[in-house]
Amino acid sequence: MSLRYCLSCKTICDDFNALTNNDSYQCPTCKKPLIYFGREQASISIESILAEYDALHPYNPVKDFQGVAKDYSNPQTNIALIECEEILKHDPNNQEALRHLSKHFWAQGLIQKALDYMNKLNQINSVISDDIVYYVSLLLIQKEYQSITDLVIKYQELITPFLFHHYLAVSYLGLNQFQDALTQFYQAYHSCDDEDRKKKIKKMIRYLSTILDQPS
């Protein structure tokens, strides 16, 4: 059995429900041609597949996070750190203090502490568009895949269609929800403008097609 995707209906069809016309396959609903990217050997672990896909960096692995830790690991930031802690004693929902402390602890390698401050921002509905990639990367490191799903759905209007589908695909894959992951990777592919990333997405689609084709 081969899984194919209808770009128009945004659904996955298998050989049994797809329409055939000569050597082509068509969507049974809209009658448009189905997309098929083939298969890829997928005997390695989901963690290895995610690592190969480079989920932390959906665009450029080097450039994306340059500047994220700007000044936060510098010893001179101790005064700012103390000031932020004092601010939060009197104003526990201060957004800038929460954001500064999160990035300070991220620069120190204390991922869970950094994440705790971002979670607090989320609880008071103060996550902004510039926070999303950073916030999701913390969740990815901690393998909090359900939290990623909840986050990107909540803040969908703050991110590009590509990032929305990309992060949903990765989180569904981490949750072993392969059918949902495959659907989201197809949509990420068609909303992506970066050719190198599209090649990686194609490979993920092939991996997932192979996994889903295996007898249960």
- Assign residue 80 the CATH number of its domain: 1.25.40.10
74-113: pLDDT as tens digits: 555 578 888 899 999 999 999 999 999 999 899 888 999 9
Residues 83 and 11 in one domain: no
User: Structural domain tally of the chain?
Assistant: 2
Asked if the structure places residue 158 within a domain, the reply is yes
Asked if the structure places residue 175 within a domain, the reply is yes
User: What pLDDT score does 136 carry?
Assistant: 93
| Arithmetic mean of pLDDT over the chain | 80
In angstroms, rounded to a whole number, what is the distance separating the alpha carbons of residues 25 and 35?
8
- Give the domain extent around 191: 37-209
Residues 46 and 13 in one domain: no
Return the minimum-mean-pLDDT range out of 32-36, 64-68, 184-188, 209-213.
Answer: 64-68
Q: By the 8 A CB rule, do 208 and 182 touch?
A: yes
Residues 130 and 26 in one domain: no
Q: Is 177 exposed, middle or buried (0-12, 13-18, 19+ CB in 10 A)?
A: middle
Asked if the structure places residue 216 within a domain, the reply is no
Strand, coil or helix: what is 204?
helix
Q: In terms of pLDDT, which residue wins out, 8 or 206?
A: 206
Residues 20 and 41 in one domain: no
Asked if the structure places residue 215 within a domain, the reply is no
Residues 57 and 8 in one domain: no
Residues 28 and 75 in one domain: no
User: What pLDDT score does 82 carry?
Assistant: 87
In angstroms, rounded to a whole number, what is the distance separating the alpha carbons of residues 190 and 14?
20
Report the candidate in 41, 26, 214, 7 with the shortest Cα–Cα distance to residue 15.
26
Asked if the structure places residue 157 within a domain, the reply is yes
Residues 23 and 98 in one domain: no
pLDDT for 216 beyond 60: no
Residues 67 and 136 in one domain: yes
In angstroms, rounded to a whole number, what is the distance separating the alpha carbons of residues 52 and 67?
24
Average pLDDT, integer, range 175-184: 92
Residues 100 and 137 in one domain: yes
The stretches of 1-144 forming alpha helices (DSSP H) are 46-53, 78-90, 95-107, 111-123, 132-141
Asked if the structure places residue 148 within a domain, the reply is yes
List the structure tokens of 134.
């950073």
Asked if the structure places residue 126 within a domain, the reply is yes
pLDDT for 24 beyond 90: no
Residues 200 and 99 in one domain: yes
Q: In terms of pLDDT, which residue wins out, 5 or 188?
A: 188
Residues 164 and 85 in one domain: yes
Residues 143 and 119 in one domain: yes
Average pLDDT, integer, range 128-148: 93
User: What pLDDT score does 93 carry?
Assistant: 95
Asked if the structure places residue 214 within a domain, the reply is no
What does pTM read for this prediction?
0.73
